[in-house]
Amino acid sequence: MEITYTSSAPLKSNADLLAIPVYGDPAEDAFVRAVDEALGGRLLAQAATESFKGKPGQSCIAYPGDALPCGAVALIGGGNKKTTNAASRNIGAYAYKVGRRLKAKTLALVLPPFTARTADSVAQMVAEGAVLGSYKFNKYISEKTATEQPVAMLTIHGDRVVGKRPKKGGAPRTLKASIARGATIGAATCHARDMVNEPAEFLNPSEVGNIAKEIAKKHPSVSVKVLGEKECEKLGMTMFLAVGRGSDRESRLIHMTYKPARKAKKVITFVGKGVTFDSGGYSLKPSSAMVDMKIDMGGCAAVVSAMDAIATIGSPYEIHVITACCENLVSGNALLLGDVLNAMDGTTVEVTNTDAEGRLTLGDALTYAQEKTSPDELFDFATLTGASMVALGAHTAGVFSNNEKLARTWLKAADSAGEDMWRMPLNKKLKSQLKSPIADMRNNGERYGGAITAGLFLEHFVKDTAWVHVDLAGPASVNRESGSTMRGGTGFAVASIVEHATR
């Protein structure tokens, strides 16, 4: 889909569909009243007939005939009048979905009312949402339905400045760049969704390496190294390799590097959990819990896909993306309960649960990240614990950190990106749960506080580096469509990573 920006009057648009966001009662919106007047009162009459109140996801469609050059007019419900970034993103998705339903090839979307201060974020989020709303993972469906006809061109109109207009050179002059940014982030998020939704038969550790190489080919500023098992063994990554022992497919460690044109202001390293399928190992999951375990590389998908957007937008920082990819399966060679592993940093770890495997792969990946990239800031993203979902629900990621300043900065980036995250404690009182009678640590604590003990396990390997751990077990995948989020893999955290890396 091609996305363009124009400052021309939306009522002159000859698009197949003109979409107008509405918050609350449409009769209270001055722009809607102007459109209604042009249509001889038909628009508001239609809204009244359909009880359209501007609720999220509501739409009301009228056909102007000769009154306007567009083919149809749609009011798009946005909810209450407080426009959050997430709400603006949903507006773009709702508008796209109405356009697709009406088989519109061209869609004109009027930006929601914005001030000079909020113009850029509103424009970015609407464009991002339109791209996300267009997402479908249907490559394995034989017969595509007629309702899947995509919108070919979206034109965004920025003509609804509220209050004092900015001076020359002010915010609306940057709307074109903001829309391009939103489209880029939306595309990267869709790429992450594809990775998560792809069956594990095809999205395996080697294929993740191929995807990283394809991204690097697009950007001269990006390079990639893919390490095989022998190379990882030489580095002492015993915990990581042990998790993948049960699979016939070789494990891979992928390391992507972005370098800015000028001297980097700092080094930021993003690590993603890359278990491309998780059976639980000998701590075998029940079938109902295993069926969706292709999503256990959601952290990997987020960091790898975000690198594409970071390189497209540009960053003043040196950025590293690292993911240790493997399959956690059962075989005669698989990791056993009671095994003691030597981590890359020299720590010995007793395995008391083979389904607590993500922290084993991440522990070595975090050590590798510090030794090979010397980061000023270190992040990891993982579908790590069901306990995080128990604590925060299915839509919120848990954030753990050893650095107050970095945690605040990260949560601000997540808020700007419209992604739901919540700070969780690293309560040292629970660290005793990780004590082992035969090794330095065990890999699993007790039932209560499971997300915290997982974070404490990882903290051991980051030493004194400023670090943030994001447990995205809940929002990495959803079972129903809502706003700009489609069923299946969500691409969660891509937007926040790009926000933090490029602002």
- Rounded CA Rg of the chain: 24
Question: What does the pLDDT read at residue 169?
Answer: 46
Give 377-390 pLDDT, tens digit per residue.
999 999 999 999 99
Integer Cα distance of 400 and 199 in angstroms:
30
CATH number for the domain formed by residue range(s) 198-491: 3.40.630.10
Integer Cα distance of 384 and 208 in angstroms:
19
pLDDT at 254 over 70: yes
CA distances from 130 to 75, 187, 189, 302, 386 (A): 16, 10, 12, 19, 31
Would you say the pTM of this structure is higher than 0.85? yes
Give 306-337 pLDDT, tens digit per residue.
999 999 999 999 999 999 999 999 999 999 99
CA triplet 306, 312, 317: central angle to 5 degrees? 70
Q: Is 19 exposed, middle or buried (0-12, 13-18, 19+ CB in 10 A)?
A: buried
What does the H/E/C string look like for 81-141? CCCCHHHHHHHHHHHHHHHHHCCCCEEEEECCCECCCCHHHHHHHHHHHHHHHCCCCCCCC
Say if CB 161 and CB 173 are below 8 A apart: no
Using pLDDT thresholds of 50, 70 and 90, give the confidence band for residue 79.
Answer: confident
Which member of 89, 97, 100, 359 is catalytic? Answer: 359
Contacts 24+ apart (CB under 8 A), 345-350: 345/461, 347/440, 347/441, 347/460, 347/461, 348/439, 348/440, 348/441, 349/239, 349/436, 349/439, 349/440, 349/441, 349/442, 349/443, 350/436, 350/438, 350/439, 350/441, 350/442, 350/443
Give 156-215 pLDDT, tens digit per residue.
997 665 554 445 544 455 889 999 999 999 999 999 999 999 999 999 999 999 999 999
* Helix, strand or coil, per DSSP, at residue 275: strand
CATH number for the domain formed by residue range(s) 2-186: 3.40.220.10
Question: What does the pLDDT read at residue 171?
Answer: 45
pLDDT at 452 over 90: yes
Q: Specify whether 428 is catalytic.
A: no
Q: Specify whether 285 is catalytic.
A: yes
Instruction: Say if 2-186 and 198-491 have the same CATH topology.
Output: no
Which member of 136, 285, 372, 487 is catalytic? Answer: 285
Q: Any idea where the domains of the chain sit in the sequence?
A: 2-186, 198-491
Question: What does the pLDDT read at residue 180?
Answer: 96
CA triplet 164, 168, 173: central angle to 5 degrees? 90
Say if CB 370 and CB 462 are below 8 A apart: yes
Question: What does the pLDDT read at residue 317?
Answer: 98
Using pLDDT thresholds of 50, 70 and 90, give the confidence band for residue 486.
Answer: very high
**Mean pLDDT value across residues 357-373:** 98
Give 112-148 pLDDT, tens digit per residue.
877 778 889 999 999 999 999 999 999 999 876 655 6
Question: What does the pLDDT read at residue 45?
Answer: 97
**Mean pLDDT value across residues 46-57:** 95
Question: What does the pLDDT read at residue 160?
Answer: 63
Using pLDDT thresholds of 50, 70 and 90, give the confidence band for residue 293.
Answer: very high
Is the Cα torsion angle 358, 359, 361, 366 positive or negative in sign?
Answer: positive
Tokens matching residue 43:
């628009």
Question: What does the pLDDT read at residue 170?
Answer: 47
**Mean pLDDT value across residues 260-267:** 96
